[in-house]
């Protein structure tokens, strides 16, 4: 399982209410009927940290997963996105247009 805090997008210091809110938002984005695997992972993450006791138990007993996702979460986290300057944005659009594949059949 990926780090539950990372999966729900909350800080380890978040309280019950914040975690519940984040969980419900995630469930809305990944409802069980449309995304059962994601929903299951979200549900498991929520169960792992939903109460203070669960969070303390997680802190004490969890074995950090040896995977890139967990390391990414630990070391890079999910910082608020930084905006590019508009020149870089335009350059990027130019680059994607150069790789653009024309839907030629639609134009015949």
Partner 1 sequence: MARKRNKRQTQPRQQTPPLPLEERIERARRSLTNGHWKEAIDAYKRLLKIESRDEWREGLADAYLGRAAELAGKEMYKEALVFLENLSALGCRRETAALQTACLLLAEKTAQAVQHYLDVKQTLPRQQDDFLQSLFAARVIAGEEKLLKAFPENSPIVKHYGPINAALTAWCAGDDEDARQLLKTIPYRSPYRDLRMILTAVLLQSSDEQAARELFSRIDKASPFAGMMTVMRLGVLTGPEWLKAVSKLGPAAKKYALTNKGVNDKIFALFSRMQKGARSAKELFNLLAAHARLFDAKTIRQTCLNLLLGFPAGAKRYAKQFGCPSEYDDARINALIAEQQSDWEKAFNCWRELLKIVGEADEQNRLRSALIARRLADILKKHFPPSPTACEQMERMLLFSLRLDPDDKPSYMALLDYYDEMEEDDLYRKCMDRAVKQFPEDSDILMEAIELALARNTFKKAAGYAKTLLQLDPINPRVRGALIRAHLSHARKQIKAKKFHLAEKELNEADAIEREAQSTGIIQIHRGLLAFAQGDVETGETQIEKACRRAGSHLTTYFRVVVEAERVGLSARAVKQYHALLKQSAAAAPDKEGIPALIRAIDSYTIENDAALGRAMGLVAKYLKKGAGLEYQQEEMAAVCSMFEQLERHDLLQTYADHALKKWAEEPLFVYYRLYGKCSGNQFLLRPTEMDMIKDAMLLAMERNETDTVKRIHAFMVHNIPLDLPIGFGDFDDFDDDEEW
Q: Which residues bind partner 1 (CB under 8 A)?
A: 2, 6, 25, 28-29, 52-53, 56-57, 60-61, 63-64, 66-69, 71-76, 78-86, 88-108
Helix pair angle (36-49, 16-29), 10° resolution: 180
Beta carbon nearer to partner 1, 16 or 95: 95
Q: How far is the CB of 20 from partner 1 (least distance, A)?
A: 17
Beta carbon nearer to partner 1, 6 or 43: 6
Give CA separation, 73 vs 11, 63, 67, 78, in Å: 11, 15, 10, 7
Beta carbon nearer to partner 1, 44 or 88: 88
Beta carbon nearer to partner 1, 17 or 66: 66
Q: How far is the CB of 9 from partner 1 (least distance, A)?
A: 9
Q: What are phi and psi of 68, to 5 degrees?
A: -65, -35
Give the number of other Cβ atoms within 10 Å of residue 93's Cβ: 10
Structure tokens at 100: 């653009």
């Amino acid at each position: 399982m990926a780090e539950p805090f990372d999966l729900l997008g909350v800080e380890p210091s978040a309280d019950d209410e914040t975690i519940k809110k984040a969980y419900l938002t995630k469930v809305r984005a990944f409802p069980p009927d449309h995304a059962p695997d994601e929903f299951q992972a979200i549900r498991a993450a929520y169960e792992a940290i939903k109460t203070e006791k669960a969070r303390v138990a997680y802190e004490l007993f969890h074995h950090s997963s040896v995977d890139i996702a967990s390391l990414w979460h630990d070391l890079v986290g999910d910082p608020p996105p930084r905006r590019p300057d508009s020149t870089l944005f335009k350059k990027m659009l130019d680059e994607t247009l150069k790789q653009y594949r024309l839907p030629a059949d639609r134009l015949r």
